[in-house]
Amino acid sequence: MRLYILGAELKKARNALKEDRQALLKSDPSIETPADIRFHAGYRSLRLYRYAHAFYVAGFRNVSAFIHFISRVLYAVDIHPAAEIEPGVVIDHGIGVVIGSTAKVGSGTVIYHGVTLGAKNITPGKRHPQVGKNVFIGAGATLLGAINVGDGARIGAGSVVVEDVPPYSTVVGVPAKVVKQDCIKEVVA
Is 80 among the catalytic positions? no
Helix axes 61-75, 41-57, angle to 10 degrees: 170
Q: Give backbone dihedrals phi and psi of 136, rounded to 5 degrees, phi first.
A: -110, 125
| Rounded Cα distance, 31 and 149, in Å | 28
CA 7 to mean position of chain CA atoms: 23
Exposed/middle/buried for residue 185 (C-beta within 10 Å: 0-12, 13-18, 19+): exposed
> Which listed residue (40, 80, 113, 128) is catalytic?
113
Residues 6+ apart with CB under 8 A from 46: 17, 20, 79, 85, 89, 91, 94
For residue 175, cis peptide bond before it (omega within 30 degrees of 0): yes
Active site residues: 113
